Each structure stands twice: as structure tokens, then as C-alpha cells.
Amino acid sequence: MTDFRKSTVYQIYPRSFYDTNGDGFGDLKGVTAKLDYIKELGVDYIWMTPFFVSPQYDNGYDVEDYYNIDPRYGTMEDFEELSREAQKRGIKLMLDMVFNHTSSNHEWFQKALAGDEKYKNYYIFKKGKEDGSAPTNWESKFGGSAWEYVPEMDEYYLHLFHVKQPDLNWDNPKVRKEVQKVVRFWMSKGVKGFRFDVVNLISKDKFEDDFEGDGRRFYTDGPNVHQYLKELNAESFGQDAEIITVGEMSSTSMENCFEYAGEDSHELSMVFIFHHLKVDFMGNEKWVLVPTDFQKLKDILFSWQIGMAKNHAWNAVFWCNHDQPRPVSRFGDEGKYWKKSAKMLATIIHGLRGTPYIYQGEEIGMTNTDFTDISQFRDVESLNHYEILQQKGLSKEDAFRIIQIHSRDNGRTPMQWNGENYGGFTKGMPWIGVNENYTKINAQSQLHDETSIFNYYKKLVAL
Ligand code: GLC
Ligand code: CA
């Protein structure tokens, strides 16, 4: 049995990992093709972000069909091949389950819109206020109202994220059964790990206006979240002791994490928390430029390390994922101390108590994008906020500077494999620009260099 406390996870964002058919879009075969590289690093698991059928408004976090693979990524046969090949190398697969919401293309939502009461209950529809305005003043995480009006129904539906990502109603037991079924399906395909997307938002509390914030206190770590997770555990992954799970916890509290990831709570193996990645925000406000508060960063890491340990709960430890800028650019140095600072940051993560996660490209010190124009950005959150910042009165230049620093696309440019065109990521036209520094920063040049960042990570993983 693998002990998740002794494991390391490598995160793959498949669309930016490796493209095998020249359409500029990474695919499952691309992951299979690079398994030896991953094996070389020595990790135990790969977490892959969603590759299920999706219209891709939020790069696959808008799932239209949980049981099938989006043709852009390949086929079920490709997945099975990947699973077999990974197993041969002793690597286990962790899938990304997005259950707080579906895509608006999902057949459940389509049925709901067509007036089917059963499916309407799968989502959160509410009447507007007396004056016809939205039920509450909550804001979507991607900007604007969290409610969308449906004229035919004269009702609004809740979407904490994109308007094409309606929130599921977890208070409906039928929804919880559907979710359990999806998890069991992928377990039957040999999957040994799950990451649950924004899973602490599934239990909504009061539908009230928030005059202190953007509404998050009414739906974060909600009243039934622990009960729902215990149930999911008992009805699905908890039946296989080998499975490890991690919950993505948005704006959570430590007390809740003691329970989400407590040794005896039968919820999840561990949690991702984000407080340490807000030290260059203004409170919860990401779209500002403020200097990184390194003292605060240390304080947060310390208090979570101590708090979680005392309460027998387990952390996932990480600097980066597909939603974050590159750590070497953010907390280290892209210039003179590029290599040293990348290794320093690696040492911190791998020295902490918790299961370390390495995000693709981090192990070779990849940096933020070198984009100079907004048209090069792809992320819906960045594009929305670029507009919102200008509506607030910022100049184009100032708005752009903020996007450059904070955009999720910083972590989404293609993996830099070698010094060939597009860093060897594709033979076609990449869906998003490759950083021009691929000639200097690439995997090939580091594999056989004993002093490279890659080989430093390799030692840390082994340790
Ligand atoms: C998580 C994902 C992010 C996605 C959001 C909505 O934060 O990591 O990429 O946009 O949830 O599903
Ligand atoms: Ca492809």
C-alpha cells in the first residue's frame, strides 16, 4: 500500500504538456509519451487536470460528460493505454473531479432549462428580488454577478465561477449519488487518486446579501460539507484503502481542515490551501500590484505546519498549479539567482510536513509568460478582469501589468522540452504561446546536468 505521507505527486496540465498529433493541443498520448521522463523524476502519482468532454470555456473545468474523454485529448483507449504504461512504471493516476458545478452543456442542465423538475433540482435556481434583480449580491470568482437570469423561467441560477459553470445542488441526495457513481466509474478504470475541485464550496448556507465581502462566507466550508464528504468517502473511494484524495479548499479555515484531512475523519487524505499564495494580494483581492509580504508567507507556513500536525491532519504542500504564476518568478528570481532560487523554493516545499506536489515545468525552473499583449492571453478569468479593471478606471497599461503578474496563464504556457521550435511541445501551432526562453530553459538540457534544477528535484523526491 502506498503511504500518501511518503508520496510525491506531479501535476500535469495535459493541454500544455505534450502534443502528439500536431494540433497544438497537448493530449493523453502526449502524457504516455513522456512517462519515462516522469519516472526519472521519481514521483509516485500524476494528477491530471480534467480531460473529460467539455466545451472548454474554463479549460475543462466545465465538464459536459464525466464518463467520456474529450476528443481533443484523445479516446478512452488512449486513457487505458496511459493507465497501463503508467502502472508498468509504478506510477499511479490521480484524476481531477469537478463536482461543485458542471458545464451548462451538461445534459442535466439542458434538461433543467427545458423545464424538467427533476433536473432543475440538480442545480440552484432562485427567484430574483422583488425589483427583479439577482437573488443575492454575490460575485462570481471570475468577475461579475454569481447569478444568471433565465428569461423563460423568470429565475436565476447560481454560478460561483463562469456563467457556463452552473453550481450543482449537493443538498439534493440524487446529485450526491450521481457524483459517487462517477468516482466509482473511474475507480473501476484503475484510478488510484482523486483531486476534488473547490470541494469546500459544495454546501451553500444562507442565500443572503453580503455587505462585508463577495458572498464567500455564505457558501465556503458550509454547514453540511463534512457530512457530504464523509458520505462520498464511504460510498466511493473509501472502499479502496489504496486510494489517495486531495481537496482543493478555497478560502478555508484551519479548523475545517482538521476535519477535512484529519487522520480519523474519513473525509480526504489531504488538503490544498491557498493562504500562502495570497501574500501578494490585498486581502482576497488578487487584481492589484502589491509587494510580496515574505514575513506573512513564513507566518502562514509555520502556523499551518504546526496547527495541522498538532491536530493530526495532513497538508498537500505546493507553490504552483495551473492557476498560479510560476514560483521562481513570483518568490524567487528569473535573473542571476534563477537556479539558486528555484532550488531554494524546492527545498522549502519538500522539507515541509505534507505531501509535496510538483507542477509541470517547476522542476526545470520555468518562468512566467513573456506576453506583451492582451491578445496573447487565453484564460477567461484574466480576460474578464482585464475589462473589469478598465471599467474601474485603470488605464490599459496598468490593467495589463496586473494581468501579466497575476494571470493563471503564467502557469499554462507549454512545457519546454528542448531547444527546438516551440520548445518541442508541438509540431503545429500551440494553443497558447511558448515562452521564448525555451532555448535556455528546457528539460533536455537539464537531464544530464548534475547541477540542474531537475536533478535537484530528483534528489529531493528520493529523499
Ligand atoms: C479550481 C480550478 C480552476 C477552475 C476552478 C473552477 O480552482 O483549479 O482551474 O477554474 O476551480 O472549476
Ligand atoms: Ca494534440
Q: Identify the pLDDT of residue 1.
A: 57
Nearest CA residue ID for atom 5, ligand 1: 61
Residue 296: band (very low, low, confident or very high) from pLDDT cuts 50, 70, 90: very high
- Whose atoms come closest to the Cα of 103: which ligand? 1
Q: Identify the pLDDT of residue 201.
A: 98
Ligand 1 in reach of 259 Cβ (< 6 A): no
Residues 28-53, mean pLDDT to the nearest whole number: 98
Interval between CA 156 and ligand 2 midpoint (Å): 37
CB contact at 8 A, 68 and 76: yes
Quick: pLDDT tens for 403-462. 999 999 999 999 999 999 999 999 999 999 999 999 999 999 999 999 999 999 999 999
Q: Identify the pLDDT of residue 369.
A: 98
Residues assigned a catalytic role: 197, 248
Quick: pLDDT tens for 324-336. 999 999 999 999 9
SS3 of 309-329: the string is HHCCECEEECCCCCCCCCHHH
Rounded CA separation 339/322 (Å): 22
Interval between CA 79 and ligand 2 midpoint (Å): 14
Ligand 1 in reach of 58 Cβ (< 6 A): yes
Rounded CA separation 423/26 (Å): 13
Ligand 1 in reach of 160 Cβ (< 6 A): no
Interval between CA 88 and ligand 2 midpoint (Å): 24
Interval between CA 126 and ligand 2 midpoint (Å): 41
Bridge partners, residue 11, by sequence: 47, 359
Rounded CA separation 217/227 (Å): 19
- Whose atoms come closest to the Cα of 102: which ligand? 1
Neighbours of 171 (CB within 10 A): 16
Ligand 1 in reach of 167 Cβ (< 6 A): no
Rounded CA separation 447/449 (Å): 6
Nearest CA residue ID for atom 7, ligand 1: 198
Ligand 1 in reach of 161 Cβ (< 6 A): yes
Quick: pLDDT tens for 77-114. 999 999 999 999 999 999 999 999 999 999 999 999 99
Ligand 1 in reach of 146 Cβ (< 6 A): no
